[in-house]
Amino acid sequence: MNIPDGTLAIIGLGYVGLPLAVEFGKHRPVIGFDIKPDRIAELRAGRDHTREVPPEELAEARHLTLTADPADLNAATIFIVTVPTPIDAHKRPDLTPLIKASETVGRALKKGDIVIYESTVYPGATEEDCVPVLERVSGLTYNLDFFCGYSPERINPGDKAHRLTTICKVTSGSTPEIADKVDALYASIITAGTYKAESIRVAEAAKVIENTQRDLNIALVNELAIIFNRIGIDTEAVLKAAGTKWNFLPFRPGLVGGHCIGVDPYYLTHKAEALGYHPQVILAGRRINDGMSAYVAGQMVKTMIRKGIAIKGARVLVLGLTFKENCPDLRNTRVVDVIAELRDYGVQVDVHDPWADVEEARHEYGLHLIGTPEAGAYDGIVLAVAHDAFRVSGPDALRSYGRDGAMFCDIKSVFARDQSDLRL
């Protein structure tokens, strides 16, 4: 493959890496690398199953070379790593993708090269976990032969208003000179401007607290929703009234999943505990949010019982599986926990989501997605994800999937209070 020297390489072409590769690829030679040949074939054909980059924008990246061959990375002098950083079953950071990506980059690393990480990590991970891998594999010395930077990703999947170029980009580098180079690199494509942090650790910490802050705010309103339910008042009505104050934050209760908010706090708490400090507030927020699926399922069952519906063998339709609206992203969706809880009660659950990929749902969660639901077939309908398609259909159309007297649960309070039997 004929790739010019001095090329920029993007490692990982998911929700974060692909928009970055495409934007840079409009202006300069870029290698877009992913370990999945199917992903490369899909993108070469002009398709992006994440729907983050439309075909016409892919076509604009005339300087982008797509490959699954690590040997092609040898032509690059700047590497940007955008692989996932999930948590394991015990809610501990799983750096496996990051370490493997670092090994891949290390085999292509040369004197003078720069490696920039965008993956969400705890403060210190770049220099304590990734740099030793780069040194070991390449045989080069950090800050003598090669250099590093960190620029946290701020991609919001499904958001068509806040895009890569219109979100301020935090940058950093392992030396003052490299920090300037990294900042200038991103400034060449980010129209919203950049912010140069004073160190890699500061940039790492800034990223991880962005989503920790959101997680805690959502945990607060989730706890308020539980309290207000016991009092017997509508949470949405309370939040609307409180929202008339100029500095009241407009958070709403709900299920907290996805690749960031439900994951990132555990990276920070992991680092804190490694240093001998046990976080109180952050983990309390996580416990509340992690417990919302069981709470929602329990409230649904109670509502069905009050309506005279027999629970064992009841049929419930769950509308929406993705972790957020108008987005095909299934990563860490907490809707699956609601489904599992309902099944534990003996409920038969069908799932319909026009955005989710059928094969991915089966592979990741063992769930069979149905097509258009059958009218009048269900004892309960749950609007779990506020896709526009469901909003446009309206509550009457969604209720029509249920039998007479069926329960309708509106988790996201999409419709007016009197149009559902239950909402948070």
Active-site residue set? 260
- State the DSSP string of 327-390: ----TT-THHHHHHHHHHTT-EEEEE-SSS-HHHHHHHH---B-SSPPTT-EEEEEE-S--HHH
- Determine the residue type at 176: P
Under 8 Å between Cβ of 260 and 332:
no
How many CA atoms does the CB half-sphere of 148 hold within 13 Å? Answer: 28
Give the number of other Cβ atoms within 10 Å of residue 127's Cβ: 19
Q: Are the beta carbons of 207 and 152 closer than 8 angstroms?
A: yes
Query: What angle do helix axes 281-290 and 292-306 make, rounded to 10 degrees?
Result: 40
- Joined together, the tokens standing for residue 379 give 């004892």
* Residues 6+ away with beta carbon under 8 Å from 413: 235, 236, 252, 423, 424
Distance CA 351, CA 321 (A): 7
Q: Please list, in sequence order, all residues whose beta carbon lies within 8 angstroms of the beta carbon of residue 281, skipping any fewer than 6 positions away.
A: 216
Q: What is the DSSP letter of 146?
A: B
Phi (first) and psi of residue 250, to 5 degrees: -85, 55
Q: Residue 112: left (phi > 0), alpha (psi -120 to 50), or beta?
A: left
Nearest to 78 by CA among 162, 1, 188: 188
149 SS3 class: strand
